[in-house]
Amino acid sequence: MNPFEMVVLIVAIVMVAGVLKSRRHPRVMSDAEPAERAETLRLREEVKLLKERLQVLERITVEKENSLAQQIDELRDR
């Protein structure tokens, strides 16, 4: 067995174990304590804001790459 197959096998085992564990102990949001629900909502909002910031950074990066490529092409055409 090569190393790649071993890594895939380990990942598969961990995923199956996680699924089995979650089936045994389902966690329902309505069963959570109010403090846990508030924390979960706060974390979801934070993730949403971070995703928006990431989109802005990706857009800025792509724009800079495109402008750099244009500048290189302009210098090449001279």
Q: Is the pTM of this model over 0.85?
A: no
| pLDDT score for 58 | 87
Mean pLDDT by 10 residues, the chain (78 residues): 87 91 68 82 95 89 76 80
| pLDDT score for 16 | 93
Structure letter (DSSP) for residue 4: H
Q: Would you say 50 and 58 are in contact if contact means Cβ atoms under 8 Å apart?
A: no
Question: Up-side HSE of residue 14: CA atoms within 13 Å toward CB?
Answer: 6
**Domain edges within the chain:** 3-77
Q: Distance between CA 57 and CA 49 in Å, rounded? A: 12
Name, in order, each residue with C-beta under 8 angstroms of 40's C-beta and a sequence gap of 6 or more.
29, 32
